[in-house]
Amino acid sequence: MRLVLRDITKRFGSVVANDRISLTVEPGEIHCLLGENGAGKSTLMNVLYGLYHADEGEIEIDGEVRRFVGPGDAMAAGIGMVHQHFMLIPVFTVAENVMLGNESTTGPLGRLDLESARERVTEISERFGFHVNPDALVEDLPVGVQQRVEIIKALSRDAELLVFDEPTAVLTPQETDELMGIMRQLKESGKAIVFITHKLREVREVADRITVIRLGKVVGEAEPTATNAELASMMVGRPVELVVDKGEGSFGDDALVVDNLRVIDQTGHVHVDGLSFTIRAGEVLAVAGVQGNGQTELTEALMGLQDHVTGSIKLNGKELVGRSTRKVLDADVGFIPEDRQVDGLVGEFTIAENLMLNRSFEMPFVRHGGLRIGTLREFAEDKLAEYDVRARDIDTLAGNLSGGNQQKVVVARELSRDLDLLVAAQPTRGVDVGSIEFIHKQIVATRDAGVPVLLVSTELDEVVALADRIMVLYRGRIVGIVPADTPREKLGLMMTGERPKDVVA
């Protein structure tokens, strides 16, 4: 299928998400859409998929202009989408998910024809070597397999063009490699592929053509032979430092000592099991691992946000297990939560109000239960400038800021106290490259000031860039704690639970 998008414009209110974007995708090619978070890639694809309606422009398939009112039309035209957040129903089986919206029935009672759906799944699964059991419940499958179910879903509707929207965000390096293989295989069978990503490494590996989008506009095309630096500067619009400038650390005594930590949820699932590690003053311990391997529960246990925690967490000799979150904060622990929208900020509060959320009990912002507005405003003005938060003023609602600026507000709040420990979970997720650079510098500065840092990240690049030591988690257990210069391949292997023979658990 040959797809041409011509001058697509999509506005949300006064924001122009797509500004006259044109794009051509040929059959049998992998076309990469490269751009930062918020550049408008997903909006464009949602227009193509019929989820949004373009304000201007047209979609042409094999020389014919088409109008899609809903995803049903796009699917009928042969467009399939592998969504970033899988569009699968967790309590349905694979076969039920694949047949949904496209069901065949048998008999006079209109009984669902599950048998033919099963066969279809098995047939496609075998053709591409997916190994997916049609009767498995989707919620029981690993993320990588769920993604294959999404691909099967699209293929079972005879999709000729497949859109992959940030497909590698949730995958291990190994699973990513497998996905790249699948994409090449699809390409060879004549499918057209649109691959949306912001990861330069992946682009250069599989792309036949690259289109770079910035702030809703196409800024140019690039060859797969372009260097990382070239692609990055096209994406951001200025030269970017991809490597964090980080000197030798000077490490003090063991500051955080975690011993045999175990976290259980209300239903009895063990999420973290037998974790023991230490972080020295002035050291960054980076926790690597695929999302959902106990990282969230580990940070929440540190912050007193989990109910069933056993073992011990000692910060400078003081026990943190069993303390309330407020008491943990009182022990001078800073926390950058992994989801700023849910746990980091109150979207309906102003920047200034958000900046005092962790100090709402005492001086300098509160006296005798009353807010000291003047002090707060002064403080907020300072932080706005210091942390380069791009906002009209301190009274802007946090919810109206871009992802990068929201995260800077969180970082500003957490780092503006004297810390004894910084827990940073996914500090740069969904943040533009410019802000990543800034936040990384702040974390390194914190470390250089002698504060122990626990960094959790699913981005291997970030882990390698910031870590002094790397701890790899798999299924809630430590695979190994290794030096920062460990090769990526080895780290990738460890993230799948394999412990290389020279690594001590």
Partner 1 sequence: MSTTADTPATVPDELGQVAVVSRKTPILLAVLVVGLALVLLFSDSVGETTFRVASRNDLFQIPDITVPGRATAWVMLAGCALLTGESFRRLLNQQKTPLWLVATYALLWMTAFLSWAAIGGRVPVVGLFGGAVALAVPLVFGALGGVLGERAGVVNIAIEAQLLFGAFAAAVVASSTGSAWAGVLAAALAGVLVASVLGLFAIGYFVDQIIVGVVLNVLVIGLTNFFFRQVLTPNAETLNSPERLSAVPIPLLGQIPLIGPVLFRQTPLVYLLYVTVAVVAFALYRTRWGLRVRAVGEHPKAADTVGIKVNRTRWRTVLLAGAVAGLGGAYFSLVAVSGFNREMTGGAGFIALAAVIFGKWDPVRATLAALLFGFASNLQGVLSVIGSPVPSQFMLMLPYLVTILAVAGLVGRSRPPAADGQPYRSQ
Give the residues lining the site for partner 1 (CB under 8 A): 46, 49, 51-52, 70-73, 75, 81, 83, 86-92, 96, 99-103, 105, 109-112, 153, 264, 266-271, 273, 474-477, 479, 497-502, 504-505
- When the beta carbons of 147 and 350 are compared against partner 1, the nearer one is 147
Cα gap 61→125, rounded to integer Å: 27
CA distances from 230 to 69, 146, 223 (A): 38, 34, 10
Q: Which is nearer to partner 1, 149 or 234 (CB)?
A: 149
Place of tokens 């293929």: 155
Q: In this structure, what token pair is assigned to residue 450?
A: 């002698």
| Closer residue to partner 1, CB minimum distance, 47 or 315 | 47
Q: How far is the CB of 113 from partner 1 (least distance, A)?
A: 9
Least distance to partner 1, CB of residue 87, Å:
4
Q: Compare residues 211 and 293 and give the one whose CB is closer to partner 1.
A: 293
Spatial contact of 198 and 170, defined as CB atoms under 8 Å apart: no
Minimum gap (Å) between residue 72 Cβ and partner 1: 3
DSSP 8-class letter at 227: -
Three-class SS state of 18 = strand
DSSP 166-200: STTTT--HHHHHHHHHHHHHHHHTT-EEEEEES-H
DSSP 3-state of 294? coil
Residue among 85 and 392 whose Cβ is closer to partner 1: 85
Supply the DSSP symbol for 339: -
Give min distance, CB of 29 to partner 1, in A: 25
In angstroms, what is the minimal distance from the CB of 61 to partner 1? 17
| CA-based nearest residue to 435, from 408, 396, 395 | 408
Quickly tell me which residue has 């707060």 as its tokens: 376
64 vs 502, which CB is nearer to partner 1?
502
Least distance (Å) between residue 102 CB and partner 1: 7
Smallest separation, CB 216 to partner 1 (Å):
17
Do the beta carbons of residue 210 and residue 226 sit within 8 Å?
Answer: yes
- Specify whether the CB–CB gap between 380 and 412 falls below 8 A: no
Q: Which is nearer to partner 1, 276 or 375 (CB)?
A: 276
